[in-house]
Amino acid sequence: MKDNKYYELQAQLSLPFLSTSSEALAQIFKTLEKRFGLKKRSTQKLIDLGAGNGNVIIFSALNYSIASIGIEISDILINEIKERIKILKEKKIYLSKILHKIDIKKGDLFQQDLNNFDFVYLFSLPTMQKYLKHVFLTAKEGTIFISYKYPLDGFDSILKLEHVLDMKLKRDLLKTYFYEKLNSSAL
């Protein structure tokens, strides 16, 4: 990705940092396990498009021990994730092979190729979703997209809505939307 601070600022204005809580993630990952074939300690791979402070990828690696990759544009947030991983290493509660499953990369989610992933996590906003079609098209058939809080509208030819999870959280009632990637060559 080009080192373009103005682009990075614009990106964060169109999709600012907000995080998914561990409470919500516990319910979302249980659903992935029960309905979408997520298997602990498998070779499955998850990517979080816009990883924020790493809540999703850290939860995924520590609880499911699968490769958990985050793409994030903000250097500040990337450093925060690295610091969290360093603290986890120092605490020595988790095996280093589990912590190695967490991988944070600086990058632009609009340039991400999803071909290699089984699960794609997004906490996006309805206002910027319309620019994601070319990214979604790179995913292989059967990839599960998890959209926290907001549905992915307008992608009916690419993504099939499979499940809506209603979550009663301590401070909120929220939904998470699960989609399956359709066969793009049939389009």
Ligand X SMILES: C[S@@+](CC[C@H](N)C(=O)[O-])C[C@H]1O[C@@H](n2cnc3c(N)ncnc32)[C@H](O)[C@@H]1O
Please identify which residue in 123, 177, 178, 179 interacts with ligand X, judged by CB under 6 A.
Answer: 123
Query: Which structure tokens are listed for 150?
Result: 């907001």
Structure tokens at 78: 């990337």
Question: Does residue 12 belong to the site contacting ligand X (CB under 6 A)?
Answer: yes
With 0-12 CB in 10 A as exposed, 13-18 as middle and 19+ as buried, what is 47? buried
Where helices occur in 19-74 by DSSP H, the ranges are 22-35, 55-64
Neighbour count for residue 7 (Cβ, 10 Å): 14
Q: Please, which of residues 69-98 interact with ligand X by CB under 6 A?
A: 71-74, 77
Does 11 sit near ligand X (CB under 6 A)? yes
Interface characters, 53-72, with ligand X (x: CB under 6 A):
--xx--------------xx
- Residue selected from 28, 38, 51, 114 as contacting ligand X according to rule CB under 6 A: 51
Task: Enumerate residues 6+ apart whose C-beta is below 8 A from 154.
Answer: 129, 130
Applying CB under 6 A, does 36 fall inside the site for ligand X?
A: no
Q: How many CB atoms lie within 10 A of CB 35?
A: 13
46 is a site residue for ligand X (CB under 6 A): no
Q: How far is the CB of 186 from ligand X (least distance, A)?
A: 29
* Amino acid (one-letter) located at 71: I
The yes or no reply on residue 15 touching ligand X (CB under 6 A) is: yes
Contact 101/65 with Cβ under 8 angstroms? yes
Q: Which range in 12-20, 79-87, 130-138, 167-175 contacts ligand X by CB under 6 A?
A: 12-20
Interface residues toward ligand X, by CB under 6 A: 11-12, 15, 17-20, 48, 50-52, 55-56, 71-74, 77, 108-110, 123, 148
